[in-house]
Amino acid sequence: MKLGITVFITDESASPDELARLVEDYGFDSLWLPDHTHIPRSMAAPHPLSREGLPREYYRLLDVFVALTAAAAATKRLLLGTGVCIVPQRDPIVTAKQVATLDVLSNGRFMFGVGAGWNLDEVRNHGVDPDDRFRVLDERVESMKQIWTNEEASFHGKFVSFDAIFSWPKPTQLPHPPVLLGSNGARAIERAIRLGAQWMPGRPETMTSSFGALRSIAVTAIGRSA
């Protein structure tokens, strides 16, 4: 069995390089870091995750790509992942370069966990309508795949559009680092299959029923593609 660690690394915690060395030394397989660019003042009020408001570590997270780069430099075999990168909050061309660079610097140890975000005000502050965030996620992931896998890449969708561009480095892993969709429920599984992504459920209490849905949807998808 392979085990990973998810940790909120902040300016008040152990440094990412120090923590990554410990995680690797203790024999864990992977380290996953969450992503929040900021926490809106509106989230100080009680909400579903906490009656007292968000815990302190949410406000003080280090940038996930910078922190994982420090972790990569301090380790040799540890897999490193975003758990998850809130893609609707990030420019896809810039993020494609960050992902590829981190994969190169880690010698192919990066795993790209992605999500649409649950903090609607946070998403809204990045100029994305929360109602559109899943469609934005889809297009940004697909556009990044074009950048990673083509010498000359272009993409034209409703939320992402750019004419032919050159962007290096290309990822070490081929065709690109694993993409893992962090979400829950049957619609999340359908989206993961449509994106060609792995599925990363976030609610253990619903995983058993979701596995049944995953098998059913996968069988249907295979039948359609045959």
Asked if residue 189 is part of any domain, the answer here is no
Asked if residue 220 is part of any domain, the answer here is no
Q: What share of the chain is helix, strand, coil (3-state, %, to 5)?
A: 45, 15, 40
Look at the chain and report how many structural domains it folds into: 1
Asked if residue 226 is part of any domain, the answer here is no
Q: What does the pLDDT look like over 62-85, one tens digit per residue?
A: 999 999 999 999 999 999 999 999
C-alpha to C-alpha distance for 164 and 52, rounded to whole angstroms:
48
Asked if residue 197 is part of any domain, the answer here is no
Nearest alpha-carbon partner for 58 in 89, 78, 33, 80? 33
Q: What does the pLDDT look like over 103-131, one tens digit per residue?
A: 999 999 999 999 999 999 999 999 999 99
Asked if residue 212 is part of any domain, the answer here is no
**Segment 17-26 long-range contacts (CB within 8 Å, at least 24 positions apart):** 17/70, 17/71, 17/73, 17/74, 18/74, 19/71, 20/70, 20/71, 20/72, 20/74, 20/75, 20/78, 20/80, 21/74, 21/75, 23/78, 24/75, 24/76, 24/77, 24/78
Asked if residue 66 is part of any domain, the answer here is yes
The larger pLDDT score, comparing residue 4 to residue 222, is at 4
pLDDT surpassing 80 at residue 206 = no
pLDDT (mean) for 177-199: 75
Q: What does the pLDDT look like over 14-57, one tens digit per residue?
A: 999 999 999 999 999 999 999 999 999 887 665 555 556 788 89
Asked if residue 162 is part of any domain, the answer here is yes
| Structural domain harbouring 169 | 4-182
pLDDT surpassing 70 at residue 148 = yes
CATH code of the domain covering residue 147: 3.20.20.30
Task: Please measure the distance between the N-terminal and C-terminal CA atoms of the chain and give it in whole angstroms.
Answer: 33
**Confidence class for position 226, pLDDT limits 50, 70, 90:** very low
Asked if residue 204 is part of any domain, the answer here is no
**Confidence class for position 181, pLDDT limits 50, 70, 90:** confident
Cβ atoms of 38 and 122 closer than 8 Å? yes
- Looking at the chain, how many residues does it have? 226
Cβ atoms of 71 and 20 closer than 8 Å? yes
pLDDT surpassing 60 at residue 205 = no
